[in-house]
Amino acid sequence: MTVDETDLRLDGNAVAGTLAEVFGFDLTVCWGGCAGCGATNQLGALLVYAHGMGTVACCPGCGQHLLRVTRGEGRWWLDLRGLAWLQLDEQARMTG
């Protein structure tokens, strides 16, 4: 079996725990807007590539990188420039 990018593609469900750790919300049910094409999606529907270097979540409509998350040296690095907006629903707040 050959493994290429398609096989490695996951979705927002796979990084629910990591995103919850950073944001304190279950982002898979929260809505966000793509700064590229304007599509709105729950983050569970985003396409995700989880590599050793970190996690990239992309718009399922146009492929734009919406969110990049990397951890290292006791810090989280977030690049959210592809996200026009993000709505955090109180119902999705996680408890400690």
Interacting residues toward another protein by CB under 8 A? 1, 3, 6-14, 16-17, 20-21, 24, 26, 28-29, 42-45, 92, 94-96
Minimum gap (Å) between residue 82 Cβ and another protein: 19
Q: Which two tokens stand for residue 73?
A: 């040296």
CB of 94 to another protein, least distance (A): 5
Q: How far is the CB of 37 from another protein (least distance, A)?
A: 15
**Cα-Cα-Cα-Cα dihedral sign, residues 29, 34, 35, 38:** negative
R_g over Cα of the chain: 13
Cα–Cα distance measured from residue 44 to residue 21, given in angstroms and rounded to the nearest whole number: 15
Comparing CB distances to another protein, the nearer of 72 and 96 is 96
Q: Which two tokens stand for residue 5?
A: 């990018």
